[in-house]
């Protein structure tokens, strides 16, 4: 019988997708934090030395991976602003191709809804 992925394993799977994109875009990783609910997941720099805090959020399809808690994000943007960092957000939707009520299983195919990394404006509201 197949093993369903835990919440932490789903988060790690999402981070793998985002990390590959960051790497392809030429970012250099300064720190990686894969623990659930610890932000940011990636601290990296671009070729100009600009720091970026990258937040990764894994959700089960049909939830919208591109939505996030706007009130919480304001607090995080303040933290980034204080550190002279820019904020990137990457929502990753994961699901079982045999039905949304089923979990994602280890070593089996899965659905992926990923619209790429989004820039979050750090101007404080």
Q: Could you tell me if residue 111 is inside a domain?
A: yes
Q: Could you tell me if residue 1 is inside a domain?
A: no
The domain that holds 25 is classified in CATH as 3.40.1350.10
Q: Could you tell me if residue 102 is inside a domain?
A: yes
pLDDT in tens, the chain (125 residues): 689 999 999 999 999 999 999 999 999 999 999 999 899 999 999 999 999 999 999 999 999 999 999 899 999 999 999 999 999 999 999 999 999 999 999 999 999 999 999 999 877 65
Among residues 8, 4, 14, 2, which one has the least CA distance to residue 101?
4
CA distance 70 to 90: 14
Q: Could you tell me if residue 32 is inside a domain?
A: yes
Q: Could you tell me if residue 125 is inside a domain?
A: no
- Give the chain's count of helices (H) and strands (E): 2, 6
CA distance readout (Å), 68 to 55, 56, 58, 59, 73 = 10, 10, 11, 11, 8
Q: Which domain holds residue 46?
A: 7-120
pLDDT the model gives residue 32: 96
Largest Cα–Cα distance of the chain, in whole Å?
Answer: 50
Q: How many domains does the chain have?
A: 1
Q: Could you tell me if residue 2 is inside a domain?
A: no
Q: Could you tell me if residue 116 is inside a domain?
A: yes
Q: Could you tell me if residue 86 is inside a domain?
A: yes
């Amino acid at each position: 019988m197949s093993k369903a992925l835990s919440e932490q394993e789903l988060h790690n799977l999402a981070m793998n997708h985002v990390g590959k994109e960051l790497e392809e875009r030429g970012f250099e990783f300064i720190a990686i934090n894969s623990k659930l609910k610890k932000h940011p997941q990636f601290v990296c720099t671009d070729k100009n030395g600009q720091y970026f805090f990258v937040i990764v959020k894994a959700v089960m399809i049909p939830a919208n991976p591109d939505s996030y808690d706007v009130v919480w994000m304001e607090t995080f943007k303040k933290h980034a602003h204080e550190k002279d960092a820019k904020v990137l957000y990457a929502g990753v939707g994961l699901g079982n191709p045999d039905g949304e009520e089923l979990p994602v299983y280890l070593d089996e195919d899965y659905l992926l809804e990923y619209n790429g990394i989004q820039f979050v404006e750090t101007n404080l509201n």
